[in-house]
Copies of this chain bind each other. A is one copy, B any other.
Amino acid sequence: MPRYKLVIEYDGRPFVGWQRQENGPSVQQAVEQAGAALSGAASPTQAAGRTDAGVHARAMTAHIDLGKHLTAEKVRDALNFHLKPAPIAILAAAEVSDEFHARFSCTGRSYEYRMINRRAPLTLEQGLAWRISGKLDHEAMHDAAQLLVGKHDFSSFRASACQSNSSVKTLSSIGVARDGDLVTISCAALSFLHHQVRFMTGSLVEVGLGKWSANDLREVLEARDCTKAGQVAPAGGLYFMGASYPDGAATI
């Protein structure tokens, strides 16, 4: 079956997450149904990351196997047609060899967590950011966050449901920046534990509010105990921003 690499944007609010689940609509199911409507055959789809319910994607990479051969442009436009009115859009499609696997070929993943730092409730950003009332010291957050860079046992920042074999991960980079009321955490790694970015965000907020020092954050990391971490930041502020692959890998 011809395989296509897809770059997908979605609003996570109506979905139980990327992955198919019994308890509600998933992005994976919607894309697979659109593929089946387009090609007349089951169209299995895999993505670089499995976002949770309510988590968004600006550029999720996936691959889909279609029952017939079509140009990449036709795949993109026809999938978008069949996806309507779900808030899922295929930004780009490219034919790839069947050696390409969106999950297993992936060499890096990046996320962004968006906070609106103000007292007033959110309107246009409801479900799209986390409102933090207290003034956040984003520079203190940025500085403390650098403690997390590198190879660590991230057990303190891991959901109990996490299925990863190991809690040791290597965080490639993390940065905290402010633009007016918007405070954004950007981070990249080969892979992340379940809820890792949301756990890290909740703990960095403790630093930003002045409740924790950078050393407190270090102690939480070293405790390897998620009950020591700050709260899990709400899903709606999290965005899967992109997946990377070896240059030109498996592209036809």
Contacts and interface: CB of A to CB of B under 8 A. Distances in A.
Interface in A83-136: 83-84, 87-91, 118-124, 126, 128
A120 B56 contact: no
A128 B87 CA distance: 13
A11 B123 contact: yes
A58 B90 CA distance: 29
B90 A124 contact: no
A32 to B, nearest CB: 18
B120 A87 contact: no
Which of under 10, 10 to 19, 20 to 34, or 35 or more describes the interface residues of A? 20 to 34
A42 B67 CA distance: 65
A59 to B, nearest CB: 11
A120 B76 contact: yes
Contacts of A87: 122-124, 126
A25 to B, nearest CB: 14
A90 B120 contact: yes
A234 B126 CA distance: 22
Contacts of A196: none
14 contacts: A9-B120, A9-B123, A9-B124, A10-B123, A11-B126, A56-B124, A58-B124, A76-B120, A77-B119, A80-B121, A83-B121, A87-B124, A88-B123, A89-B123
Given A9-B124, A76-B119, 11 more contacts: A10-B123, A56-B124, A77-B119, A80-B120, A80-B121, A84-B121, A87-B122, A87-B123, A87-B126, A89-B120, A90-B120
